[in-house]
Amino acid sequence: MRKSLRAAAVGAACVVAGAALYGAGAATAGQSTANSTHEPYNIGLLTKDIDTYYGTTADSNGVYQASPDSPYAKDLARIDADARKHIDQAAHTALKHHQKPAVMFDIDDTVLLSLDYEKRNNYGYNSATWNDYVNRADRPAVFGSPELIRYARSKGVEVFYNSGLTEAQRGAAVANLKKVGADVNLDAGHMFLKNSANPPAYLKDCATPGAWTCTTVQYKAGTRKHIEDDLGYTFIADFGDQYSDLDGGYTGRTYKLPNPTYFVG
């Protein structure tokens, strides 16, 4: 699901985005492109900006952590505050109309922060080292996300997850989410992972056993459509660190969490 080319050079400032609300039609509005005759932003300076944005510091174990008083943390806090208000209101309305309200969370860099991996690998990607990292199941939380997940549940909202992590990474993902306090609906009926060997029938337009051609948007929107159309839920909100987590409909309100470290199209 991840691309080897991490086209991170978008400029850390682009992700700040105030209340960070994007309708589906504007879901790519925050991304700049390389279609310019200007010299692109210098990648050495960009990585310094990223450090400043996260307040990146090595802890006593040498693990790079984001700082709770960083601009990143402040952006997340604004998003969380808006999301709580929205969940509260939308859940109330949905339940009054006898609907089954639901929220969708991406996992990587939406609930579990990969900053240590990204910085250590100079914002590059390698499937073997990434797999080792995921399987350590020791990523810290994205600030506020476990609390937001528990808040949604407390309001009668069904929590679902949808990730490009694979079925082979399910055990590590569950263990890591438990460890950070996102211990809500971590069963296979709520956590949808990429199963390219045996894809679900509702993805048949782009995936058959052993032949997966789904784009991220096809996979993720197709999964949300299944949950709405086949399982009878109504999404009131969708949380992701990539626009491809949020495009394609069946979302409710979309929340783009900041992530200047890689791009998944």
| Interatomic CA distance for residues 11 and 13, integer angstroms | 5
- Find the shortest distance in angstroms from Cβ 140 to Mg ion: 15
Pick one of 22, 91, 101, 109: the residue that binds Mg ion (CB under 5 A): 109
Which of 221, 229, 183 is CA-nearest to residue 203?
221
CA distance linking residue 26 with residue 49, whole number of Å: 25
- Count of positions on this chain that bind Mg ion (CB under 5 A): 5
Does 241 contact Mg ion by CB under 5 A?
A: yes
Should residue 118 be labelled a site residue for Mg ion when binding is judged by CB under 5 A?
no
158 forms beta bridges with 102
Question: Which region, judged by CB under 5 A, interacts with Mg ion, from 77-85, 150-158, 212-220, 238-246?
Answer: 238-246
Does 247 sit near Mg ion (CB under 5 A)? no
How far is the C-alpha of 138 from the C-alpha of 145, rounded, in Å?
16
Examine residue 106 and tell whether it contacts Mg ion (CB under 5 A): yes
Nearest C-alpha neighbor of 109 from the set 191, 2, 186, 253: 2
Which residue, among 160, 58, 43, has the nearest Cα to 111 in the 3D structure? Answer: 160
Q: Which residue is nearest to Mg ion (CB)?
A: 108
- 87 or 165: CB nearest Mg ion: 165
- 């569950």: which residue's tokens? 174
Least separation in angstroms between residue 79's CB and Mg ion is: 14
Q: Which region among 98-106, 135-143, 213-221, 250-258 touches Mg ion (by CB under 5 A)?
A: 98-106
Stretch that binds Mg ion, among 63-71, 171-179, 193-201, 240-248 (CB under 5 A): 240-248
Check: CB of residue 243 under 8 Å from CB of residue 30: yes
The residues of the shown chain that bind Mg ion, judged by CB under 5 A, are 106, 108-110, 241
